[in-house]
Every structure is written in C-alpha cells, then in structure tokens.
Structure 1
Amino acid sequence: MTLRIQSVSKTYPNGVRALQDLSLTIAPGMFGLLGPNGAGKSSLMRTIATLQPPDSGSIMFRDLDVLREPEKLRAQLGYLPQEFGLYPNMPADAILDHFATLKGVVQPGERKELVASLLHQVNLYDVRKKSVGGYSGGMKQRLGIAIALAGSPKLLIVDEPTAGLDPTERNRFLNLLAEIGDDVVVILSTHIVEDVRELCSQMAVINKGQVVVQGEPERILDEVRGHIWRRTIPRQQAEAYRAQYQVISSRMVAGNTVLHVYATSHPGDGFEQVEPSLEDVYFHRLAEASGGRVPVEA
C-alpha cells in the first residue's frame, strides 16, 4: 500500500519551480507534510492526485504507475483540496448522494446506506437536509471529507484542512481524521505544526519544492534535543540578539520577546535549555535550507 514519489519536478509556465527533484516514501497511516506557504505542498498534492502532470519523475502507488494510468489511481483516491466548491442551495445528503454516484455506487439502496453512514461519521446527519450555504467553515470541511471518503479510498489527501477553523471545529476535524483506518495512506498537508504533532506517525518538511527533513516525529526531535535554548528579553534588544545568535523563532509575550536559538553548546547570557518541539525543528530546518537565519514573529 506504499506510495513512492521519486525525483518529481514541476515548473509552471510563469517560471516558478514548485517541485525540485522531490522524493518521498509514504506508508499506510497518517503522514504529515509541513511547509510554509509557497513551499510546494499544494503542487505536490495536485500532482499526486493526477490533476497536473510533473515535468519529470515517477509516482507509484502499490504496483500502480500513477502517471501512466491516472484513472486507476482516481478510482481509489479521496481528495480534499484546500479550496472546493459546493452547491450552496443543495442539502448535504443530496450533494453526498451525487458524489457517491460519481464514485460508482450505483445501487440506490447501497448509496442511501453509504450516505447516511458517512453523515453520521462526520457528525452532520442531523443537519443533512439543511442547505450547505448555511454551514459553518468546519461543517463544510467535514462534508468535504465525507465526499472524499465516499468511494472507500485507499489513498486520502487533505490539503490545509484546518486553515481558518476555530479551535472547536479544528479539534473535531482532527479527531475525524484520526479515526480513518490504518490500512489507508492519509497525507495531511499543512503549515500548522500542531496538526502533525497530534496525528502523524511519519512526517516531512518541504521548502522551495524540496524535502528538508523526513521521518518519525520523535526521531526528528532527537536530532535537535539538547540544542534548543530560550531566553526572554526586552523587545528593543531583539535585533542585537538576532545578529549574535542563531535565532530560529521569536514571539511576543506580555510585551517582551521570547527567543528560541539553536546552539550545540550553552550560549550563555542567561539562556536556558528547553525540550524541543516540532515547531523548533521546523524553524531550524527552514533556516538551514535557506542558508541563513529565519527568525519568526509569532
């Protein structure tokens, strides 16, 4: 059931190099794909989903050559893009019934049972007759995942699914993803580090169309454990510290600046060692990939 992406590159007509010789091997279960806006995550998702061809490279899903036989991949693919349209005046059950038909569920009785089951799964059954134009953002996202699951996919791609959701809807959506079976390859593409930390057993960070780190989150954390240091300073001193230390992130707390720096030994000057988070790894690796320091105001 493994998805293998080998040396995939994509340059758009305007000259933007979205993917650069990118390779990943993704096993069944939840896989987190992290990266800043413009890193190439959505381009990779569209390429895997056969919505656009790469300039070079190969994609294999089990024994299927995805680029040679895209229609066979689509038959076992569920895809929730970052932005998707719904008919605002139609109720959820009618929309889901329509997509189930497109997925090949042609028997009316079977389709009715499937629609009801999916609506229960995404906690929308009680509002199934309500026009989706009146749904909240989270409700629309949950309907989107129901649509993606309609054909019992073996490969599920969700692209920035929690962007713009309030904390309650975000947690509800993440719990829904966590319930999907372990025999399905689920790719969660996001720039929200917490989503990956909470859900994924495997992950990768990409930047400028290239993989900068991949593996198990705990193993990735081990690589920087003992090298992350924190200090709180007055805001006006932040630039001086950025010039002196390898600052990987900064954020404002109660009018002061909390710095996280990467150093292989104690940097002195009042810094304290802290247990690293995936956010620290993320910022550190992006800084390395960019060939310099990337302080981040949060």
Structure 2
Amino acid sequence: MSIRELYQRYTNQLSTIYSSHEAGELSLWLMEHFLGIRRIDLLQNKKIGEIPLGMKQALEALMRQEPIQYILGKAPFYGREFRVSPAVLIPRNETEELVHLIIKENTIPNPSILDIGTGSGCIPISLALEIPEARVAALDISEEALEVAKENAKDLRANIDFYQTDILKDAIPVDNLDIIVSNPPYVKYSEKELMQPNVLEHEPHLALFVYDEDPLIFYREIAIKAKISLKTGGKLYLEINEGLGKETANLLATIGYQQVQIHQDLNGKDRMISATSNRNE
C-alpha cells in the first residue's frame, strides 16, 4: 500500500463522522505519530509496510469520537508538547492567546505567578519557560490532574510549585503575587447541547461546566481571594465565557479591581479579561 492510499482510506472512513478537512488532519496526525509520515511525504507517495495494531486501534477510537489528544496521550500548546489524559482538559488555542497576552504585557523582573485550576499545567509551565526567572505556582482540586501537570513540568524541566486546593472553599496557598491567571469552568449546563460529542462525552465536566443559576461563581471566588494574594498593582488574567464578558468585567469592577479590560481572541470573540488589583485587602 502507498502512503496516499492509506491516507485516502483513513480519510474516507473518518469523513463519515468528521468534516472532510478534519478527517484529513486526523489521518495525517495518526500517520505521523505511528509511521513518522509527514504531510510532505504524501507527495513522494512511497510504499509502506504493515500498519501497526496501535494505529488501527487509534482509528477505531476516533470512530467512537474519542479526542485524538487522549488517544495519543499528548497535545501541542504554545510550541511544546504536553501529556494529557481524560483527567484534564485538552489545551485550546484560546488559552494559548491568554498565555501570550500575559507574556506580552509582563514587564516585571522575576515575577511571581499563580495559575488556578491548572489541569495539564500548560499555562504555568509555558509561563515559567517563557518568562525569565519567573517564580510560578499552580493549584487544582483534582489529584489526578495534578499528577499529569507534575509529569509535564518534569518532562519540560519547568520549576513549578503545585498545590491541591479547592478554590471555592480554600484560601489561596501563596501570596505576594504579581500575576494570578485562571481558565476556570465557565460553560453553562444549558450550553451543553452546543458542544461537540468528543468534548461532551470525554473531557472532564468538573473542569468545564457551571450551573446556570450562578455561572460566575468561580470568577467571584477567584477575584475575591486574589485581592488578598496579589500585590498592590498585581494583575489578574482570566479566560472567560464569550457570552458573559460584560458581566464578568462588571463583577471585577464591583469587587474593586481597576483597569478592567476585555480582550478578544483571534476570532473576534470576548475571550479574556485582565484587571489590576489596587490593594491587598
């Protein structure tokens, strides 16, 4: 069998569930992971030998709409590869934009940074590696998520202090911080029907959903507790529900933050908020 024949076979099969473009991308992802075949190799159309059993099993998992990142156990984020498992959310492009915003705006030497709800650790690890001499900590309620994050920090040689903390009940375990960042649960349960099955059926609901009755519960708790842990003039960065940008900004202003600013992502959606703490009360 040639490379193109295999690519076409897999793409045709996946196209019964995914869009043609996505099916092609998934096929290439499998071919690169299991066979070392890249997009440019399709042009040469070399012959290939026996297909590994793992690749066939991965195709079957994709046909069950399991996320390819969980199937392969890894996901790209900000130029690096991170381990992922069903215990953590799959890193998103929008979160890369949040990390980039922090890096772009940071002018403090040796900043102290905390990530709340770290999941795979992609945010704090990226910040620790991109910002020279940053002192970085991260917390999560999930022991399983923290294990994944610790493995990623070890793999990527990032020095991160990890804490198991329930931000809705516990105080922030570190203080005197320059930056606090969080991508907390913000999808309302009423929005579940809008989500793709591969997300809804496989990614951890604990890290995704909030009740419609109080969709800003995590933002309120984080903002209140962050005012205690942030230095005067410290910055709070949050990824947000695109439909609740104004409500989230008003909440931060009511709590006492200044310079509250909504930032749009590359698709023009309200996706991030930054704010400045003016006191340590």
Question: Is the structural similarity TM-score above 0.5?
Answer: no
Higher helix residue share: 2
Higher strand residue share: 1
Q: Point out which structure has higher relative CO (alpha carbons under 8 A, 6+ apart).
A: 1
- TM-score of the aligned structures, taking structure 2 as reference length: 0.31
- TM-score of the aligned structures, taking structure 1 as reference length: 0.29
